[in-house]
Each structure stands twice: as structure tokens, then as C-alpha cells.
Amino acid sequence: MSRQASANEIACRRRIEAALIAALVILVAIGHWRVALHDADSSVVLVRRPRGVMGTDCVLAAVVAQRDATTAEAALDAAEVLLRQVEARMSNWLDVSEVSQLGAAAAGVLVPLSPDTLAVLTAARDAFDLTGQTFDVTCRPQVELWRRAGETAIIPDVSAVAEARAASRWEDLDLTDSGVVKRTSSASVDLGGIAKGYGIDLALRSMQRSGLRGGLVDVGGDVACFGQQPGGRPWLIAVRNPQRRGPIAQLRVGDRAVATSGDYARYFEIEGKRYSHIIDPRTGWPAEAARSATVVADTAIVADIWATALSVLGAEGLEGLPQGVEALVVHDRQGGQRLVCTPGFRTLFIGPPAEAIPAIPSRPP
């Protein structure tokens, strides 16, 4: 059963080209559950794969004593509800989402927003400054311009890029305690680079509050975990190789989160050239500095923000990471790929990485 599930998992991953794989650890844990059936205090793991969460694959895992299996079921239910709620509020694709309503609103009108959406917007505004203005949720006009370019296979002209850049400004959004007032009707936000992380944190925290021994939330390859698997085993997270099949490395991250962004997962091609779905707000063009960026942080929202920002900044951004945030950047070099990571990221590897990975020499305190 576990071999078949593992094959399914791999097929799924290939389809959506998600960056991280949590399947291995979970399947090992399922095997353990089977041998622990007769002992009420032994840990078991319940795994759920709800469909259609945030438009991608989702894996939820809860570790409890055998006798508390119903607690785990309830914890998984609650986690799933929270993820779906975040999606309903923050999706770009649902007309009724708060983000879509904000985009459609006229200037000068207060658009009421839930505390969740306001919390994400506030974190995004802080991140704009922290990331040297490379993480910018106001860049929706640019994202849409390049999405159309992908559909028509025509590069936008200089004036269209300039216009989209001019329409992407935090100055056009006034955040209040209850919502947002736009200063121009064209202002809009895209929370695609941060909402998943926020949702993962909400889901994981609710699982922690349920008294589980361990838990894991994986949405499209962005993962957060706490505690341990049955048998005291740590959760292990595999980092996907953006260039070929198979992982670059396996990580032991403890009670932390991992997020990966890159141009290998979602991209479009025009005249044979590959363009990322991540925009460099400094130029208005798709980001080019990294094939992928994997970030480990205490929370999934921080990992999500920095994975997107490092896709814009490239390896040069590693030195500007805040304390407690570790990262690996993969970028193209002379026909091949080069990997570089922070010294702290090196300590997370289980066994040697598949390729030589230099660490940047030092980071400012």
C-alpha cells in the first residue's frame, strides 16, 4: 500500500512540479501506525489529502496517541477549514474573494476586510521595505500584464510595462483598522506570494492547540511542521532539484517552515525563452535572478515572503536575510546551475547534498 501511495505521490508532484516533497516521511509514519495498533499510547499518524485547497496539492498529517485518533480527525478537519477560508478570502481567482472585491472597488470607498486579510496586507507592507521593495503585493497590474503576454505570446511594449509599474504603488492603498481605502481605482493587490504561508501557519497553529504530538501541513510544496512522527522520528523535507528529477537535498527543519519559489514550477515561454510568474517590481519584467529559492523560517508566512523575494534578488539577497531565516538559491550559470546557501541552511542537510553547495562566507549580525 505504501509503495503504491508513494508512486501516486511522485506522479502528483511531477504534475504540479511542486518544490518540496513530504511524502516519504508521511508514508514511513503510516507504516508505523500499522504496527502500533495494539498499544493505546503508541503514536499514530493520520494523513489527509484534501482536494482543491488553494488550487494545488495539500497534505495534512496529525500525530497522536492511538487512543486519541478522534482528536486527530477533528484537528485535521479544523486545519482544512482554515486553509479553505484563507483561500476564499484571498484568492485572485474567485470573484467573491475580498482581494477581488478590493480590486474592483472605486477610489475613496472603504472596502471592509476580515482581520485575516488585513493581517496579511500588513505583513506584506512590512515585507516590501524589508526585502528592498522586491516583495510587492501591489504589483498585480504587472502580474496581469505578463499573464496576458504569456497567453498571447507577445512581449508587452515599453509603455505598457511602464504603465503597469506606475499602477503598482503602496501609496495608493490606505490600510485602516477595518479595511482598505484605495486612492486610485486601478490599485489592486495579489496575495499569491504570501497567502499560502499565512494559511499554513493558521492551520498548523490550530493543530498545535489541539494537543497533537506532531503535525505537518503541506500546501503545494510549502510545508510547516512541529513535533515528531511516531517513533520519535523527525519530519524530513526533500528539496526538489529545479533542473532534473529527484531532490537536491533532504532537510531536517524541526518546528519550522519551508517554502520554495521559482520559475520551474510556473512559467510561460515566448519565442523559446522562459519567463517566470514572479515579477521584479524594480523593472516591471519577470524575475531572472534565480531558478529557485528555498527558505526555512520559524513561520510559513516569512518563508513564503522570502522565497518570492529571493527569486527576484537571487543569491545576492542571501546576505540581507533577517536573523533566523535561512535559504538556498539555485541559479543558472554557464549552461549549468549553481547553488549557494546561507551557513545556517547547511546545518539542516541530512547527509551530503546531491551537488556541491557553497555557503556565503558570512552574514551581518
Report the alpha-carbon angle 114-120-125, nearest 5. 125
Q: Which of ligand AMP, Mg ion, none has residue 135 at its interface (CB below 5 to 8 Å by kind)? A: ligand AMP
Q: Which of ligand AMP, Mg ion, none has residue 68 at its interface (CB below 5 to 8 Å by kind)? A: none
Answer for which of 47, 139, 251, 325 binds ligand AMP (CB under 6 A) is 139
Q: Residue 13's closest CA among 230, 264, 357, 311?
A: 264
Binders of Mg ion among residues 308 to 347 (CB under 5 A) are 308
State in angstroms the smallest separation of the CB of 229 from ligand AMP. 27
In the shown chain, the binding pattern of residues 256 to 285 toward ligand AMP, with x for contact by CB under 6 A and - for none, equals -----x---------------xxx-x----
State in angstroms the smallest separation of the CB of 4 from ligand AMP. 30
Nearer to ligand AMP by Cβ, of 190 and 288: the residue is 190
Which phi and psi angles does 126 have, rounded to 5°? -60, -40
Asked if residue 228 lies in contact with residue 29, where contact means CB atoms within 8 angstroms, the answer is no
Cβ-based neighbours of 55, under 8 Å, separated by 6 or more: 87, 91, 93, 220
Answer for which of 182, 304, 318, 353 binds Mg ion (CB under 5 A) is 304
Q: Which of ligand AMP, Mg ion, none has residue 121 at its interface (CB below 5 to 8 Å by kind)? A: none
> Binders of ligand AMP: how many residues, by CB under 6 A?
19
Answer for which of 116, 136, 201, 263 binds ligand AMP (CB under 6 A) is 136
Question: Does residue 29 bind ligand AMP (CB under 6 A)?
Answer: no
Strands in the chain per DSSP E: 20-21, 43-48, 58-65, 110-112, 173-175, 179-182, 214-219, 222-227, 236-240, 247-252, 257-262, 267-270, 273-276, 279-280, 285-286, 292-297, 326-333, 336-341
Question: How many CB atoms are closer than 10 A to CB 154?
Answer: 11
Asked if residue 165 lies in contact with residue 222, where contact means CB atoms within 8 angstroms, the answer is no
Q: Which of ligand AMP, Mg ion, none has residue 215 at its interface (CB below 5 to 8 Å by kind)? A: none
Question: How many CB atoms are closer than 10 A to CB 322?
Answer: 11
Distance CA 185, CA 172 (A): 9
Tally of helices (H runs) and strands (E runs) in the chain:
10, 18
Question: Does residue 193 bind Mg ion (CB under 5 A)?
Answer: yes
Nearer to ligand AMP by Cβ, of 229 and 299: the residue is 299
Q: How would you class 75 by CB atoms within 10 Å of its CB: exposed for 0-12, middle for 13-18, buried for 19 or more?
A: buried
State in angstroms the smallest separation of the CB of 212 from Mg ion. 26
Binders of ligand AMP among residues 168 to 227 (CB under 6 A) are 190, 192-193
Distance CA 1, CA 55 (A): 27
Name the closest residue to ligand AMP (Cβ).
192
State in angstroms the smallest separation of the CB of 74 from ligand AMP. 30
Find how far residue 266's CA is from the centre of its chain: 13
In the shown chain, the binding pattern of residues 288 to 327 toward ligand AMP, with x for contact by CB under 6 A and - for none, equals ----------------x--xx--xx---------------
Cell of 362: 558570512
Question: Does residue 240 bind ligand AMP (CB under 6 A)?
Answer: no
Contacts with Mg ion by CB under 5 A lie at: 193, 304, 307-308
Contacts with ligand AMP by CB under 6 A lie at: 134-137, 139, 143, 190, 192-193, 261, 277-279, 281, 304, 307-308, 311-312
